[in-house]
Every structure is written in structure tokens, then in C-alpha cells.
Structure 1
């Protein structure tokens, strides 16, 4: 008997659905930097430079951007479930290719394609929530996905450090392949199609991407996209530079470095929890402004301290904790607002959101080491620069005082 790929149980519990979508939102961030504690080992394994290894992170981010920009709008025309299954399957395959890559060139190419495949889970997961929920209910479910997605990059090095204690960096990608396989089975069993045929966009790819172009003509949406993207740029610059800062400059072991990231994850989770409790009672734009302000102030203090010659492990860690805490507000607030502003084309809006995140993240990731040596100051300056651009975009384009994307009365 043949089973259609679009078949799925007619009813799926919301909790189970969000758990699966959360896993899909987390696996790509894990893929981005779960291997970060192994950067020094990878440099030796391939006999290459630190910058070349950091570029493998950029390759994955570019892939995630491409995947979301293309797959998000496609899901508005083709439906969600089919593309989720395909993305999960290909993520598993390319994770295995990363694990056995014989050269840095093959590894970088596999990372690019792994990112493209992983983009499906992130972009379609958000679109599924937009299909099924509205108002504050949507904000709370998106907050759950955002907290998972923003915590994953911070927790990933912890998991990677534990794996490196028992094996080589290649074992990290074997673990990612197994995770991809589990998610493929979960999607097949528990994620029904959320976009029926009568609600899909017609007119082919031209109409799909025309919808994306229409969204980009909205000044406020472009502003929020820049806030989101530059926020991710700050986070990924921190993630790509911090292994060298904490291990080479402050002398931490891979395990010690992982524990620093775990502590920083507490800030992200706590801020996301606060956001979830306040959504519906406090304006989303106010929460977003607070998140941006915390990131800017934290990094401005760090750059100031480093300029004065105060470069200690506790002060650097404390300021970066402020970064991850601010990001815990910035990400869910901007995600919810962007999808609300672009609610007439949720797949396209989700694709633009993911594209902005990972294009700017890809651009920022190698910058801490672009001058040949990754230092605490080079990392802090790049992260602060991204945060300042986010703040300018918030004020000049998004204009949060105008209340874009706030839930309408009665949607609580």
C-alpha cells in the first residue's frame, strides 16, 4: 500500500506540534555552532587557518539565508508539510557529509547545503504557527520557538564540548545527522498540513516572489528586519569570536568555555520567559526597544573597559551575558512583529525574516578575525557595531512608537 507524503493525522495536539516545531527551530542553530569548541582542532585537522574555519560558519549561515528566502515563499504556494519532510531528510544527509569531509573545501560546501536544508524547518515552523494562531496566542507560540531558537546557539557549544570530551569534532556532525533523522520521523507522524490547497498562493513562482517584493516596500518591515538581522549578526560575531577569546586569551578549556555559554543561555531563557509573560500586557515594540537598549549598553561598556586596558575574564563574561539577555527580548519581539506586519503572506514574511537573520549573521561571523587575529577587542567592536546598526534601524525605519504589529483588541 502506498502512503501519500501529505498524509497526516487530522488532529495533532498543540503541545506536541510546538515541541516538534521547536526541534526544527533548534537543530539548525545547533548545526551552526555546536562544533565551535572544536575550531582549534579543525584548524589542525585540515592544516588551515582560523579564518578559513570561521568561513565554514559563514557558509552555513549563507545556506540558511538562501533556504529560508526560497523555501518560505514556496511553502505559501506548495504547502508546508512536503517541504518540511524534504528539508529534514536532506539535513540528515548533508550532516553525514560534513562528518566524513576529507578537505576543508568539501566541508565548507557540505555546510552550505546543510544550511539550505535546515532553513526549511525554521522558516516553515514559523509559517505553521501563523497559519494556526493569531494575536497574542500567536505571539506566545512564536515566543516559544524564538526562545528555543535563540537559546540553541548558546547551548550548542555546551553539547559540542561534551561530545569533544569523548571524540573528535566529526562526531558532532554524526550527532546532528541522528537528530535530523529523528525530526524527520516526528514531522511525518505529528505535523499535519496547516495550509490547505484553497489558501495557497496561485500564479507560480512569479506571484510568490512578487509577494515578497511587496513586503519589502513597507518601510517599517524593512526596519524590523534590520533590527532582527543585525541582532543575529551581533550574536554570531560573538559566537565565532568567543572560542578564541575564552580559550586562547583567558585560558579556558573546551569544557570551561561550554559552561560559560551555558550560563549565558540562562540570560536568554530568562529574558524569553519574561517576554512570554508580558506579551499581551506590555507593547511588543516597548519590549523590543528594551532588548535593543540592553545589547547596546552591554557592548558599549565592554568596549570602554577594553579601551581602558581592563581585559579580564569576569568583566568580559558579564558584558556578554548582557548581550545574550538583551537578545532574549529582541528576537521574540521582532519575530512576532515581523510576522504580524506581513500576515497577508506568512511564508514570504518568514522567509524574509530568516534571510535577514542569516545574511547579516553570515556577514558578521568572520569579522572578529578578519585582521588575522581574533581578540576580545575585535570581537567586542564587531558586536557593538551590529547592535548600534540595529538601534538606528529601530528608530529611523521601524519607528516603534507607531505601534506596528501590535495585536488588535480581542486577540489576546
Structure 2
């Protein structure tokens, strides 16, 4: 429960405040771009935090960093809530992301410390599903908070959540990496191990499969409000229901993965997940190209995207952590870095040429899933079976 909460709170922090963007622009007397940069700052902070804190936890242990990360997340959320200017707000968002990255990266490493094989896969699936659905559900929750207060109340809620998690870590999360299992040679040795992992073709391949998949998800998150509200005429409430329904696709696919992990090869599940995302987006772009642009067809294709992602993310996460089992914190940090760096790069692309349309969003998302498929076939090479637990099915 605690690790699940840690996996959710930072993704919630990414865009829970998105419905309040117009109010923030007015509050600070600034531009839309400056406010949107606060979301990018949080994504960059999450990437940096995971890349740095994952390897550090391999050398120093997990518990103290989890406690420090949750405490600082609460403090920085309060700084966001009382920020007097957009400059302070954006800086606090960057640091909030760094602190929040501790919970995501170290939570995965704790699972790798305690479990292996199918047992680890099922638990990592749970964390992956939580982490991937949280950014999708966060704007819905933010809209509810904004119904009773200003955008600043969103960050007060995040601060309180961080404080509750700090208390829960103190009570229920013991140190999972004893001193004798920590990386010898200190942090430099752990960083060398990280470099060695990145130089392996299969590691880089699976990181790109997962990172490009998450880039597709963030392009969908940023583009879909304009598509469904401006193009298809949905109200914000109706759009929230569409968003939530698509999140259910991710949850259901993750549940299927959890049932099949240990009985079906992880690389096969990963391949199916990537194939579903590609088929869904090729279908959508084809329909839009021939002039079929309806609410139901677009919704169905994007539901296919989120469902495929529910297989892609837990499979790639489990495989990458298995490949990097000698340095799980470093491997987990690379996961987070690839996810959020590529996500930050893809998020603004649906509207980069002007208006965000169904076609512009679909083309960007299709490009991301095709890059994911290319990395799967050329680098990850699922038929070679990298990252499969011992005794996995043939």
C-alpha cells in the first residue's frame, strides 16, 4: 500500500493542477507558456531525481532516502501553494519533481530487493499500473478540488498526502537493502555499473521501448483535451469520463498481465502490448486520413492505445529490472529517466505547429509507438529472451 501510494503521488503531482491553468495564468499575470513550463519542470525533476537517487540508494540504502524524499515533497508542495510569482512556482515544481522521484525509483528498487521472478513481476505490475493511470486520473481529481477552492488548494492536498506517506514509510517500510548487499566502492562504483548497463544493447533497447511508449501516453494526455472538447464538442465533465474510461483500459490490461506473468513469457506480453498500440494508432491515422473523424472511432482507437500500454509498461519494467538485477536502484533510475525525459519531450508536440487537432495528436502518438516498435525489433529483440526469470515458460 505504501509503495503504491509513492508510485501515485508524484504522477498525480504532474498534472493534477492542469484544470487550473487558466486561473494560474491570471493569478500570476503571466503567459500560458510560462505556466505550461511548470509541468515540463516537474517532468524534468522526476527524471533527474530518479536517475540520481536510484544509484545513490544502491550505495546508501533505501529507507532514509524514502523518508527524505517524502518530507521534501511535502515542503515543496507547500512552497508551490504559497508561491508569490511564476518564477518561484516553476522552480518549486522542478524541485518537487526531484523529491517525488525518490518514491517512484526507490519503491521499485525495494520490490527488486525483496522479490524475484513472477513474484516480482506481479508486484511491479501493480506499481506500474498505478504509476501509469495516475497521470490520467489526476486532472479529474484536480477538477474536483478546484470545485471547492483555488488552484493553490491542489498543492495543499499534495503536501498533506506527502506527509501521510512520510508517516507510513516511518511505520511500515523497513530498510530492504542491508549494508552487506550495498554497492562496494561507494557511489562511483554504482555509477560505473549504471554506465555498464546502458552500454548493453538489450538494456538500451528495452529502455527505448518503454520510454517511447510513455512518450506516446503523454502526447495523448496533452493532446486529447483539445481533440475531445474543441473538435468533438465534449464538455470538461464528459471529457473526464472519456479519460477515466481509457484509464480503465490500462488497469484491465495490467490485471491481465498480472494473471499471465509467470505463465507466459514476459517478452511475448511485451510484444503483444507494443503491437496493440501500433495497430490502434495506425487504424486511427488511417481513418482520419480517409475522412472518418468521429468521436466513437477516435475514442475506441485511443482506448486501444491505453490498453496496449497496460501490457507494455509492466512487461518492460520487469525485464529491465531483471537485466539490471545486480544494481536494482541504478536500473530503476534509468527506467524513470527514460520515462520522464521522453515524456517531457513528447508532451508539447501535438500542438507544436499550431492548433492541436485529432490528426496532429494521432500522428505524434503514432510516431512514438512506431519508435517503440522499432526499438523492440532492432535492439530489445524479444526472441532472445532477455530478462526472463529462471524457469519461465518456453
Aligned partners of 1:225 and 1:338 also within 8 Å: yes
> 126, 145, 162: which one pairs with 1:144?
126
Aligned partners of 2:269 and 2:315 also within 8 Å: yes
For 1:171 and 1:342, the matched residues in 2 are separated by 40
User: 1:383 offset after TM fit, Å?
Assistant: 1.1
Specify the alignment match of 1:378 in structure 2. Answer: 360
Q: Confirm or deny that 1:351 pairs with 2:300.
A: no
User: 1:410 offset after TM fit, Å?
Assistant: 8.0
Q: Confirm or deny that 1:315 pairs with 2:297.
A: yes
Instruction: Give per-residue Cα distances to partners, 1:271-310, cap 9 Å, x unaligned.
Output: 0000000001111001101111111111122222222333
Aligned partners of 1:21 and 1:121 also within 8 Å: yes
- 3-state SS in 2 of match to 1:194: coil
- 3-state SS in 2 of match to 1:166: coil
For 2:289 and 2:31, the matched residues in 1 are separated by 27
Specify the alignment match of 1:129 in structure 2. Answer: 111
Q: Confirm or deny that 1:32 pairs with 2:14.
A: yes
For 2:230 and 2:29, the matched residues in 1 are separated by 18
- 3-state SS in 2 of match to 1:220: helix
User: 1:312 offset after TM fit, Å?
Assistant: 2.6
**What are the within-5 Å matches in structure 2 for residues 281-296 of structure 1?**
281-296=263-278
Q: Confirm or deny that 1:409 pairs with 2:376.
A: no
For 1:125 and 1:170, the matched residues in 2 are separated by 28
- 3-state SS in 2 of match to 1:409: coil
Aligned partners of 1:143 and 1:272 also within 8 Å: yes
Aligned partners of 2:264 and 2:392 also within 8 Å: no
For 1:280 and 1:76, the matched residues in 2 are separated by 27
Give ranges in structure 1 of 5+ residues lacking alignment: 1-18
For 2:252 and 2:191, the matched residues in 1 are separated by 37
User: 1:107 offset after TM fit, Å?
Assistant: 2.0
Specify the alignment match of 2:343 in structure 1. Answer: 361
Specify the alignment match of 1:207 in structure 2. Answer: 189
Specify the alignment match of 1:64 in structure 2. Answer: 46
Specify the alignment match of 1:248 in structure 2. Answer: 230
For 1:42 and 1:312, the matched residues in 2 are separated by 33
Give ranges in structure 2 of 5+ residues lacking alignment: none
Specify the alignment match of 2:198 in structure 1. Answer: 216
> 124, 136, 151: which one pairs with 1:154?
136
- 3-state SS in 1 of match to 2:386: coil
For 2:253 and 2:272, the matched residues in 1 are separated by 11
Deviates more, 1:303-312 or 1:179-188: 303-312
For 2:292 and 2:83, the matched residues in 1 are separated by 41
For 2:33 and 2:231, the matched residues in 1 are separated by 17
For 2:38 and 2:296, the matched residues in 1 are separated by 29
Q: Confirm or deny that 1:279 pairs with 2:298.
A: no
> 311, 314, 338: which one pairs with 2:320?
338
Aligned partners of 1:43 and 1:53 also within 8 Å: yes
For 1:21 and 1:336, the matched residues in 2 are separated by 16
Aligned partners of 1:83 and 1:120 also within 8 Å: yes
Aligned alpha-carbon RMSD (Å): 1.6
Specify the alignment match of 1:11 in structure 2. Answer: none
Specify the alignment match of 2:215 in structure 1. Answer: 233
Q: Confirm or deny that 1:113 pairs with 2:74.
A: no
User: 1:96 offset after TM fit, Å?
Assistant: 1.5
Instruction: Give per-residue Cα distances to partners, 1:118-158, cap 9 Å, x unaligned.
Output: 00000000000000001111111111111111121222122
Aligned partners of 2:54 and 2:333 also within 8 Å: yes
Aligned partners of 1:285 and 1:400 also within 8 Å: yes
Instruction: Give per-residue Cα distances to partners, 1:200-224, cap 9 Å, x unaligned.
Output: 1122221121110010111001000
Instruction: Give per-residue Cα distances to partners, 1:328-347, cap 9 Å, x unaligned.
Output: 00010000000001001101
Deviates more, 1:166-175 or 1:190-199: 166-175
- 3-state SS in 1 of match to 2:388: coil
User: 1:159 offset after TM fit, Å?
Assistant: 0.9
User: 1:108 offset after TM fit, Å?
Assistant: 1.8
Specify the alignment match of 1:304 in structure 2. Answer: 286
- 3-state SS in 2 of match to 1:310: coil
Could you tell me the TM-score, scaled by structure 1's length? 0.92
For 2:162 and 2:250, the matched residues in 1 are separated by 25
> 70, 77, 81: which one pairs with 1:95?
77
Deviates more, 1:246-255 or 1:109-118: 246-255
